[in-house]
Structure 1
Amino acid sequence: MRTAIVTGGTGGIGLAVCRQLLADGFHVTALFGGDQEAARRCRDELGITTLQCDVTKMAECARVVEQVHLTVGPVDTLVNNAGICRDAPFHKLLEGDWEKVIATNLDGLFNMTRQVWDSMRERGFGRVINISSINGLKGQFGQANYTAAKAGVIGFTKSLALEGARKGITANVVAPGYIDTPMLAALKPETLAMITDQIPVGRLGSPEDVARCVSFLASQNADFITGETLNVNGGQYLG
């Protein structure tokens, strides 16, 4: 049985990814930052292990990966999904909100991937799947911190792909557009309607739309695909 870790795995897109990988036959561990109730719901629904981890701290990432390695086995697939927003126009953007978003969305990518990379190289197999965003491709008003981090995810992944190719490791990006999650549902109805009107297929994406893409990239069917960005945005941005 192959082993997967999903960061930010207990809600929204992360939960859908965990559900899909579990259906695909993976042993799945979901990492979460601090929402104990979401972690409980994830355990109750899926029956998987959830581990609290601050991905901005290298030592915590090392601890949870070692725990998975000792209790389940080496990590075959890492899905870096953890992310936060701290939105503000640039002239009002606080230094702390820049640092928090970069630390979680980009530094966390390095911290987690570094823990599994050597083992993947040694075993000659691995899948690293990083979740970016439509806004990391096109930019977005009020999200200089978020878009910088999500654009960085893509560059980071391309370099990983080049370094991992001869070692049997693929590294790819999934870049969701506007997905129907509780975070998006909190927007005003008129704002949500305006966003939906901009999507050519006429609807918001679902977490399952993203999860199916992760499933494909984690599978043997994607052996010859690496360094790519798979856009899941209903045609809203063709980048």
Structure 2
Amino acid sequence: MSEAQTESSAQSAEPAFKRVMLKISGEALMGDQGFGLHPPTVERIAREVKTCHDLGVEICMVIGGGNIFRGLQGSAQGMERTTADYMGMLATVMNALAMQSALEGQGIHTRVISAIPMDQVCEPYIRRRAVRHLEKKRVCIFAAGTGNPYFTTDTAATLRANEMSCEAIFKGTKVDGVYDKDPAKNDDAVRYDNVSYDDVLQKRLGVMDASAIALARDNNLPIIVFSLDEPGGFKGILAGEGTYTKVAG
């Protein structure tokens, strides 16, 4: 088979999932700055999303707010926890709007859908409307978490993924999967190809918080952990390639 035929065959291959949730941290958007938004990094992630959208995959997104404000840190510094968490939710809206702008710059119709109503800047969360957006091949970015304090964006991503009937959650991180210990600090760290929900909870592997893992387990929703820094990683996994860890039953 010629190189052109091989490329054509790869492009025509059916993606492994038809509807997915992409969960990324707010820190993923700040590049090397240490704080805030780094527009070239936001645009790079938007291009990654576009390559998967071009395959016909329906994509939901949840983005954390830690690059702007973290509720737990605010609480630890003496701020009332509920207030701090609401501030963190507003930070996720800012990140969602930045990603929407970058995706629309790539020609992808995108909707930011907030659990906290703010009609001038984004849509309120209405499940049936969000599903219709996905059916129309629009990317849906769910912002403001669940709209409730004491819940993380990991839990929000798992909740929305279940509500949208997603087939998997893709958790984009700085490493290419789940390890038995921190690979940045331990040269002998071992990566799992597959790991169960219960092992993640019992060994405290740090994939997502316990509430999110339990919710995924109870609804049989697999979690794919991969490196967001690896060019083409998101698309490669959808095509059945690449390096990642699958968390499942």
Structure number with the higher helix fraction is: 1
Q: TM-score, normalised by structure 1?
A: 0.42
